[in-house]
Amino acid sequence: MLYAVVVCYTQNPCDIPFSTLVSNFNNIFFKPAFVLGWTINEFPAFANTRTLSTSKTNSIMSTITAYFIPAKKFPLGQFTEKVKDTLEKLNLIDGYYDEEDNTYAHGRAIIFEYATIHDTDKNKLVPEASSTGYGAICIQCNAEVDEELYDVINNYYDYEGESGKEKDMAGLTLTCNNCNKSMKLQDVKFTLPVMLTKHFFQFVDIDDEISEDVLKKIEQNLDTELRVIYERM
């Protein structure tokens, strides 16, 4: 069963008719992303739907990773310093967790295992891992292609780990096992919150979702709205 993925500030499912979503299609301010079966390059801006979750319900035993994706485009290399300065100022990080891996230790404000910042000219698929699937749908026959997507993602990270090089994941291709249609990742339709983005930062293994107050402070310091995707493993 597929679940609705748009979540209001109250974290309850928003009662937004699909026709209303479609009517706001021209208000796109941020790409790429998707909501409710749209392609990964379509994501209208809604006043109170910036927090998305890949799970239907919270689980006490789950491990939560929070991904923060900026609406504003940053020049290459500037995003890392801006995020690092902001998180240090707000006591969200405190030095390195592993300097060689460029991971950061948590500060006093929030407890998590570590934080990372992605700032390159290559798109990454967010979330980077999923225990519930991605809700990937073939653009031709509408069959679910999560299994094919997992193979593509695993092959990509094998390549990245072995070569130490990064490729733009938007151009990766997968082939539907049902109809043999080949498609680029940027064209795949999804029914769960997924984004292709060149800039994001994440908190790994946090205890709970980020409070609205903390999120607003981060946004004010970064001078951009943030979309947040939570992945529960």
- Ranges of each domain in the chain: 6-137+187-232
Range 173-199 average pLDDT: 95
The whole-angstrom separation of Cα 196 and Cα 40 is 7
Token reading at 80: 């890392």
Q: What's the pLDDT tens digit per position in 141-176?
A: 999 999 999 999 999 999 999 998 999 999 999 999
Q: Output the average pLDDT for the chain.
A: 79
Region 64-85 average pLDDT? 94
Structure tokens that stand for 92 in this block: 């969200």
- 83 Cα distance to chain centroid: 16
What's the confidence (pLDDT) of residue 232? 81
Q: What average pLDDT does this structure show over 70-88?
A: 95
pLDDT at 206 over 70: yes
**Within 90-166, where are the H helices?**
146-163
pLDDT digits (tens, 9 = 90+) for 28-53: 333 333 333 434 444 433 333 455 55
Q: What is the pLDDT of residue 94?
A: 95
**Number of helical (H) and strand (E) elements in the chain, helices listed first:** 4, 12
- What is the spatial distance between Cα 43 and Cα 225, in angstroms, rounded to a whole number? 14
Q: How far apart are CA 77 and CA 164, in angstroms?
A: 19
Look up the pTM and report it.
Answer: 0.73
Provide the token pair at 15: 């009662």
- Sign of the four-CA dihedral 3, 39, 168, 224: negative
